[in-house]
Structure 1
């Protein structure tokens, strides 16, 4: 059996197993979540870091409409496979402390979503990419709607309307591109070969960009995000922030810019400016937050805005920075939301001004939280540093003034993150925080994994950067050549 088919369909089989697992669903989910990670480890060990597509699967699916089940892995996809299959076990483990009603359905939806995510990150057929895109959306909607907070229904409806609207516009662009290919194909290679005029590529650029910008989210398409992150159950928030928003970033790199290079040439500056506005705007809003989950949500918008800016700068440093920072952001934001979840469960509040002095009764939590905060603010020798350094270098090579504005994320990020740490962990304990208990075995396991990843990637990022280097270089060359020819 093709190893990539195994990678995509194991979570789907796991989802089916969950539905009949009954009371053993939780422990079984933990074990099954390791299988896709083991397959990814095998693929990584045998992966050749060049620009070629490896582990290719190309099977007729609906041949009369030019639809094939075509999927493969290059250096860009490989990093996203690592991200997805590394974080899913961590997210499942982090949920073990919660009393979840109908565990079978909850974990089945997570595995179902995982399968959709893997499909998005490996699809080389436009129709298959869209199917994966929607498969990933449906489970997270139900996870948030069924296990979310008090205002989950109205917040979730807004999230669903935003994302489905963007998806439908993208579908129109995919169908249009399909009809322009000589053999009415959905193959991404055929999309890349199309020589459409500048105005046509302009609307295709915006059709794709809207879908991707909503998912990431980029300013001003971000308004669904803070409410959704706050109301979603912690596992749902981790899935959204750690993995799902990377669908949009990946889509820009794989589909948007290579398919519509002239559209990118005409409108890339606009997208870059929106990204930088998002960095500054979200950082300032984060500084004003008293709710710990909303603060982390706005922090995420700022960090993703910088990743987006690095991509639209369209150079080697910016794109390599985007690739490694996708992985780093996923690790860091999952760690941040997990610490927030520990505090909320113990204290029954998300308000920063009701906390303080937790480091005294919970020193182990304080140390782990500090490592995650330092990774998030990009301290040298933490994972966030190399990613943000490359992203800012990429933006600097595009425009020094844009780099100065985008660089505010480091200053502002340090201010609101360290301020949050001070309010939560330092100072004098109050009546609530005096009885705060330190982390237990499960919580230690999650925070140890996250902390080790932050430090190891920060000290030695080369294995991650090496994976995507050739694929990024090849993509840059292809797009730049098309722009020059036109």
Structure 2
């Protein structure tokens, strides 16, 4: 069964169906979008159940000739890393659809002055059609095993997200959308040059990723090609100092678009580093690893410090994500099994924790009409369920033990410490800073005397509880029992590190000596 083609085809057909719905039938468009996204989720779960972690590395493989004269194929397959990210995408899309049920009819954000938000440029029907197109692109980019096909999906994702930000966002939506597009196109242009050079230098008349592994032997050529891919991924991630587009885009995007932008699309950057940079250019990856780790550590500390000073709730969440992406990049380039598994798990856990934060922020902004943190206060007294969900999401963001992000952050740090002690110690400071920006934000918004402007704020309604319940459940379950996800991830990470030909760091105390000491 061509699982991956079906997973991409269903949302595309659904988007066409939504677009053909007569004008004025917005409710029907929302219902059809929700139905299609749930069908995609059910199909994704059915596929994931059949995945065998102990089997072949790439499973559910499909390959169809696309441009034979250039060796371009429609090649798709998944390993454990791609699978968990596709599952993440499939879970978040129906949640975003429900969350956007009312908000898509209005602008996504509001000016800090509290004035009326600008009207959307397009109908809510178009918004939901764009959501389904974006879902197909997200599944395709993680499933692509043809490097040229990956590039096509990598760039195609920009189109629906650009229109979602530019047509449904806040008062500075045009600026944010254009900045997002220009940064991404610049990175994509460098990647296109590198993809073409890879094809020419490898001289294999194919773009298929498994066949290109080990094809580039010249260390100098590897370095140049690595930079072309890496800069594109660093912009997408975003990694410091390529991050400046994210706070603007996340702050101006409608809530649903912000969830998918930071929760899924940005993961394509770190996924690309792990999948393509390490395996296609192993020598260059080792050469540039100290530099990339330095950038990652700077990003961890920088993102956390800047987040502390934010007055806009969505910008604060965006800067926390810059810090978290530093952890993920650190795990990728530490090149140990623990760090690699932690980085991949971090992509999944960050997707859910950030989704929860953006969703709750969206509900708060929708009620209050402002994104300013200081315009809230004492919300816990009049909306305890909302405040409780916000607390769990925030504690997950600061990696509290028992919640999902802690496991992945711990694995990244311990795996990095095995090879790079100083960067691991400095990065650990990010956990302390995270406690400051999360708890201070929560204290200002949820505790203290109730502000007059939020005195009549309603608590979560039934739809909003359905939106948050699965996300909070995943955060808690993966915090206590991440083993099923790690069992899928670990073999794929092991294959990746084998391709890079790195060995695990030896323990400081040999096992025999440790046993001898224990016996005495």
Normalising TM by the smaller chain, what interval?
A: over 0.9
Q: Structure 2 residue aligned with 1:92, among 87, 93, 97?
A: 97
Q: Partners of 2:485 and 2:443 in 1: how far apart?
A: 33
Offset at 1:481?
A: 6.0
3-state SS in 2 of match to 1:221? coil
Task: Spell out, residue by residue over 1:181-217, the C-alpha distance to the aligned partner (whole angstroms, 9 max, x if none).
Answer: 3432111122213133111111111111110000110
Preserved CA contact (<8 Å) 2:216 2:281: no
Query: Size of the alignment, in residue pairs?
Result: 482
* CA distance, structure 2, for counterparts of residue 235 and residue 108 of structure 1: 13
1:422 corresponds in structure 2 to: 443
Instruction: Judge conservation of contact 1:19–1:104 (CA < 8 Å) in 2.
Output: yes
Which of the numbers 428, 432, 437 marks the counterpart of 2:458? Answer: 437
Give the RMSD, CA atoms, in angstroms.
1.3
Q: Secondary structure at the match of 1:309?
A: helix
Match 1:38 to one of 33, 38, 42: 42
Q: Which runs of 5+ in 2 are unaligned?
A: 106-121, 504-520
1:248 aligns with 2:253: no
1:292 maps to what in 2? 313
Distance between the aligned counterparts of 1:71 and 1:318, measured in 2? 26
Please report how far the alpha carbon of residue 257 of structure 1 lies from its aligned counterpart in structure 2 after TM superposition. Answer: 1.2
Aligned residue in 1 for 2:30: 26
What secondary structure, in the 3-state scheme, does the structure 1 residue paired with 2:170 have?
coil
Corresponding residue of 1:465: 486
Structure 2 residue 287 is the aligned partner of structure 1 residue 266? yes
| Contact 1:20/1:104 (8 A) holds in 2 | no
Matched, 1:345 2:366: yes
For residue 394 of structure 2, what is the aligned residue in structure 1? 373
In the superposition, the TM-score normalised over structure 1's length comes to 0.97
> Aligned match of 1:195 in 216, 219, 227?
216
Work out the CA distance in 2 between the residues paired with 1:104 and 1:431: 36
> 5 Å matches for 1:125-136?
125-136=146-157
Task: For residue 99 of structure 1, report the CA deviation from its aligned partner.
Answer: 4.6
1:275-290 equivalent positions in 2, closer than 5 A = 275-290=296-311
Residue number in structure 2 paired with 1:233: 254
- State the match for 2:237 in structure 1: 216
Alpha-carbon distance in 1 for matches of 2:69, 2:469: 51
Q: Deviations over 1:313-343 (max 9, x none)?
A: 0110111001111111011111101111111
Q: Offset at 1:475?
A: 1.3
- In structure 1, stretches of 5+ residues that fail to align are none
| 1:382-418 superposed Cα distances (whole Å, 9 cap, x missing partner) | 1111011101112211212111111111100011101
1 CA distance for matches of 2:202 and 2:40?
35
- Residue 508 of structure 2 aligns with which residue? none
Aligned 8 A contact 1:14 1:108 in 2: yes
Does residue 9 of structure 1 match 2:9? yes
The residue that corresponds to 2:200 in the other structure is 179
Distance 1:223 1:179 in 2: 34
Deviation at 1:440? 0.3
What CA deviation, in whole Å up to 9, does each residue of 1:207-229 have, x standing for no partner? 11110000110000001110111
**2:340 equivalent among 312, 319, 326:** 319
8 Å CA contact 1:115, 1:136 repeated in 2? no
- Preserved CA contact (<8 Å) 1:242 1:330: yes
